[in-house]
C-alpha cells in the first residue's frame, strides 16, 4: 500500500510539473496557423544526448479506435517519439512541424506522437480533425506513465530512438522541427546507427 501511495504521489507531482510547463489557459488550444508561425520564433529546446542508450519503454498506447500499440515492439525502424497534450501551447505549435517533418523523412524514421491528455479521445479527436494532419496518428496514453518512463515531466518531450530501440538523443521542451538542423540531426543519427 505504501508503494502505491508513493507512486500516486509521484504521478500527481509529475502531472503538476507537466501542467505547469504548458499554457492551460489558452483560449483556443488548436491555434490558427498564423499564430503558430509567429510562435515558432521562440522555441528554446536543445538536443541532449545525456540519456543515450536507454531503451524505448515497452508501454501500450491506444488510438481513437481502441487499437493498442506496444512502443517496445517498434524496434526495427528509427522512431521519433513526441509526448504532447492539447492544452500545451508549445506542443500545439510543434505538431504541424512534426507532420511536415514526417513528410520530409519519407519513411526513414517513424514520427509517433502520443497525447498525455487525461480526457483522451474526447479532446484529441477534435484536435486532429481540425488540424487535418497528413502523417501523424492520434495515439494516446492517458495515465501519464509515459512521461515517468521517459524520466521527463515536461511537455513536450521528444526522443529519437534508433532501429534497435535505444535512445540517441532527446529534446525536452519546444523545438523548431521545421529547420534544417532538426532534419540533419535526425538523419545523421539514423545513418550512424544503421
Residue range 57-71: mean pLDDT, rounded: 97
Residue 43: predicted pLDDT = 60
Residue range 94-106: mean pLDDT, rounded: 96
Is pLDDT at 169 greater than 80 in this prediction? yes
Q: Report the share of the chain in percent with pLDDT over 90.
A: 70
DSSP result, 45-93 = --EE-TTTTPBPP--EEE-TT--EEEGGGGTTS-EEEEEE-TT-HHHHH
Residue 193: predicted pLDDT = 62
Is pLDDT at 109 greater than 70 in this prediction? yes
User: pTM to 2 decimals?
Assistant: 0.79
Per CATH, the homologous superfamily of domain 2-193 is Glutaredoxin (3.40.30.10)
Is pLDDT at 41 greater than 90 in this prediction? no
Query: Using one digit for the tens of pLDDT, what is the confidence trace for 122-154?
Result: 999 999 999 999 999 999 999 989 999 999 989
Is pLDDT at 19 greater than 50 in this prediction? no
- Identify the three-state secondary structure at position 134: coil
Tell me the three cell numbers of residue 113. 506522437
Amino acid at each position: 500500500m505504501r508503494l502505491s501511495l508513493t507512486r500516486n504521489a509521484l504521478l500527481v507531482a509529475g502531472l503538476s510539473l507537466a501542467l505547469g510547463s504548458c499554457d492551460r489557459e489558452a483560449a483556443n488550444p488548436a491555434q490558427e496557423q498564423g499564430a503558430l508561425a509567429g510562435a515558432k520564433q521562440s522555441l528554446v529546446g536543445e538536443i541532449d544526448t545525456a540519456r543515450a542508450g536507454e531503451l524505448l519503454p515497452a508501454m501500450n498506447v491506444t488510438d481513437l479506435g481502441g487499437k493498442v500499440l506496444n512502443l517496445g515492439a517498434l524496434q526495427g525502424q528509427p522512431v521519433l517519439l513526441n509526448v504532447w497534450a492539447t492544452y500545451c501551447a508549445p506542443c500545439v505549435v510543434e505538431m504541424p512541424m512534426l507532420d511536415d517533418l514526417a513528410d520530409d523523412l519519407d519513411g526513414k524514421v517513424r514520427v509517433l506522437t502520443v497525447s498525455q491528455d487525461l480526457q483522451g479521445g474526447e479532446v484529441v479527436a477534435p484536435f486532429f480533425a481540425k488540424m487535418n494532419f497528413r502523417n501523424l496518428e492520434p495515439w494516446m496514453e492517458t495515465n501519464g506513465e509515459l512521461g515517468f518512463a521517459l524520466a521527463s515531466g515536461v511537455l513536450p518531450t521528444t526522443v529519437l530512438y534508433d532501429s534497435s530501440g535505444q535512445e540517441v538523443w532527446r529534446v525536452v521542451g519546444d523545438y523548431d522541427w521545421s529547420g534544417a538542423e532538426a532534419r540533419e540531426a535526425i538523419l545523421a543519427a539514423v545513418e550512424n546507427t544503421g
